[in-house]
Structure 1
């Protein structure tokens, strides 16, 4: 009865997810179905597992980093970092599109939220890009695709959740994210440059920047850009834990708000409300998925899956290709954090069995989930960006084809060249 009950629970969960029922409700419904069909298991375990799932100490970092990111948006940081990006990329082909990519990379270390990053740049940069002659479709795609970099650059919320589930060092995951983040940033800037040259998208400026202009822009952006350095440096030197780093980030964002004199007390209150709602949404998913993960563990699904895969696939590289295809498919339909909490306990032990580095597998997994945010039919980044820019979904998908190809190439590099994911970690540790 147990195995069939798990199958029914999984089908109910997937059907509800496809029907766009909220993720936490879909996962909980699957869990309730299992307990209803399995008479010997006490139903109160659901409530216990939901509560235990959100009591993890590493997850304390989530509200801290969410709050720090929200405060950063109110403190006047964005426009200073954007000006610095304009100075650096102004003479490159597709000037404002290059600013878009670089801004996402730098803001990834400050905001930690890809949806917030996409929404902000859709409002700030896309109208300016259209005035400069960029098409609405290209502007929207660049904004959504570059926002993918955000969860890879530390401190990404996905890394905190993955680390807490798989019992992997969050500090090491933060540092490991630098490699994939920089890889995606550089490759995306090259692609933007190629497309811009073909279409005649002009640079923002023709003249070379002067030393004074560069130093002035750097001086304005220096304080915000120090935050990722403070976080990674503090964790590496043992000054504070990744969880404590979140509270340091909040204090630092408040200091920036005071220095720039742009954050009002009303903004602090508004920011705290945003933090509560965002954190609650994340924690509901974590708690619900924790209950479902308990069911999988009770029925020994991870162990059975490990044995089956190891018997079927003898080569770790074939395993990685299969996992990538599977995760890309899952990411198209299921929200990244929910997929992570359900699938990491299943796939991480199998990856370990093949001798794949835990940090490398974590980066492959997180990258796949980030790609899922951009792909139809459920890509959240695609919907958020198109909702603000009023770009048609079919036009967005057509324009995004070169970016999908680029993402696949980057994924293959991460999969088969461990240097991109583990190299930076080996350097620091």
Structure 2
């Protein structure tokens, strides 16, 4: 049964079907072909969406859309430029730091690129950076978003593996900061090697103070979000709701740049984005159920544990698997299909569930930078108006800090587990 399911799924993908259609169609054919109860198709799909943590997904998407409509990204970008100053490669360093700050409300790599990509690329090109370099650092910095809370991929991973969503989101804080440091170190090295331009901005204490006051309402959003999670007062869904309310407040009362039309457009964009994500979630749940019925997770677990009972060896094997899968499969679909299969075996071998969640998602985020299905490549290609092959050439040097970050997270469990276990004590 699983062979039929996988064969139809692969054929549908090769034929160009959207991932949700490929998952749903292959599951439906397998259910009918093997005379399984047809009502399971709807039942499993609906049950997959009956999840409180998943409510955070549309709310975080809406919060990011509202903050983008308000125009807070420009204020944050200008403030960080003034703080960083005129060091060589300054605007590239600013792009990384702004991606870290904005990731505190966006939760997705494509959201970061959509909100920041054009600003980042245009600023760097205007200062004399090669367009390929500008596109490359923009894509690489966007991988921070799905690791730093609120991360939509981490919330979905938690929902399918029965891991605490709050602990998993907190587990992403230190790895995200690590990625930020490694990317900034890479830019510093390239600044010396390639004589990258200095910023033309003239920082002064007065200018920094003025821009800080203007940016303060925007900067409080990620601080409030992280504080709510760390304090334990809010779960992901509650924090998402509070962030939406805060975005509406600063949009209408503080910046006064938000209109009812902009709110409507944000709601419409949120519905479009959410419907695509949740359609994949529901169809992947049916797909996973068919695999489970055929004992694929149990067999895969036995196979992995038969290869080795060493947690590190198993993690390295899963890294290789996910790096390949990320080249061909959309990240949320990969989480929903593969996580239920491999997670139980690695948990049984002693891999910490929080570490595995971060390793899993970071692998797939690197996959967003790799052809042929790397969505970040195509997104930046659109916003920067440049061919995909040029974008790929620009991003190649930044695989070094990203893969190095992945190795550290894989080899040192405490990078992921220290903070969540510290605050739970």
TM-score normalised by structure 2 residue count: 0.96
Structure 1 residue aligned with 2:265: 270
Structure 1 residues 145-224: aligned runs within 5 Å: 145-205=140-200, 209-224=203-218
Correspondent of 2:24 among 28, 49, 53:
28
Structure 1 residues 101-140: aligned runs within 5 Å: 101-140=96-135
Structure 2 residue aligned with 1:43: 38
User: Structure 1 pair 213/427, CA: closer, same or farther in 2 (3 Å)?
Assistant: farther
Instruction: Pick which of 29-38 and 118-127 moved more.
Output: 118-127
User: Structure 1 pair 80/162, CA: closer, same or farther in 2 (3 Å)?
Assistant: same
Q: CA deviation at 1:206?
A: 7.7
User: Structure 1 pair 235/178, CA: closer, same or farther in 2 (3 Å)?
Assistant: closer
**1:236-256 superposed Cα distances (whole Å, 9 cap, x missing partner):** 434332211111010000011
Secondary structure, counterpart of 1:98 in structure 2: helix
**1:361-407 superposed Cα distances (whole Å, 9 cap, x missing partner):** 00000101111111111100001101221222223223322211221
CA distance in 2, matches of 1:239, 1:295: 38
Q: CA deviation at 1:205?
A: 4.3
Correspondent of 2:319 among 320, 324, 330:
324
**1:277-316 superposed Cα distances (whole Å, 9 cap, x missing partner):** 1111110000000111111221221112111211221322
Structure 1 residues 69-80: aligned runs within 5 Å: 69-80=64-75
Does residue 91 of the first structure (1) align with residue 86 of the second (2)? yes
Secondary structure, counterpart of 1:186 in structure 2: helix
Q: CA deviation at 1:188?
A: 0.6
CA distance in 2, matches of 1:297, 1:14: 19
Structure 2 residue aligned with 1:253: 247
Structure 2 residue aligned with 1:237: 231
CA distance in 2, matches of 1:408, 1:237: 32
Instruction: Pick which of 227-236 and 408-417 moved more.
Output: 227-236
CA distance in 2, matches of 1:186, 1:11: 43
CA distance in 2, matches of 1:67, 1:73: 10
Q: CA deviation at 1:47?
A: 1.1
Unaligned runs of 5+ in 1: none
Correspondent of 1:340 among 335, 339, 349:
335
CA distance in 2, matches of 1:205, 1:136: 18
Secondary structure, counterpart of 1:154 in structure 2: coil
Q: CA deviation at 1:415?
A: 0.1
CA distance in 2, matches of 1:20, 1:189: 38
Is the contact made by 1:176 and 1:425 (CA closer than 8 Å) also made in structure 2? yes
User: Structure 1 pair 15/345, CA: closer, same or farther in 2 (3 Å)?
Assistant: same
**1:207-251 superposed Cα distances (whole Å, 9 cap, x missing partner):** 6x4443333333222222222332232234343322111110100
The count of residues paired between Structure 1 and Structure 2 equals 423
Secondary structure, counterpart of 1:375 in structure 2: coil
Is the contact made by 1:108 and 1:151 (CA closer than 8 Å) also made in structure 2? yes
Q: CA RMSD in A?
A: 1.6
User: Structure 1 pair 59/206, CA: closer, same or farther in 2 (3 Å)?
Assistant: closer
Does residue 16 of the first structure (1) align with residue 12 of the second (2)? yes
Is the contact made by 1:171 and 1:232 (CA closer than 8 Å) also made in structure 2? no
Unaligned runs of 5+ in 2: none
Instruction: Pick which of 123-132 and 165-174 moved more.
Output: 123-132
Is the contact made by 2:369 and 2:395 (CA closer than 8 Å) also made in structure 1? no
**1:58-104 superposed Cα distances (whole Å, 9 cap, x missing partner):** 11111111111110101121111111211222323212111111111
Is the contact made by 1:144 and 1:382 (CA closer than 8 Å) also made in structure 2? yes
CA distance in 2, matches of 1:238, 1:95: 37
Is the contact made by 2:81 and 2:201 (CA closer than 8 Å) also made in structure 1? no
Structure 2 residue aligned with 1:420: 415
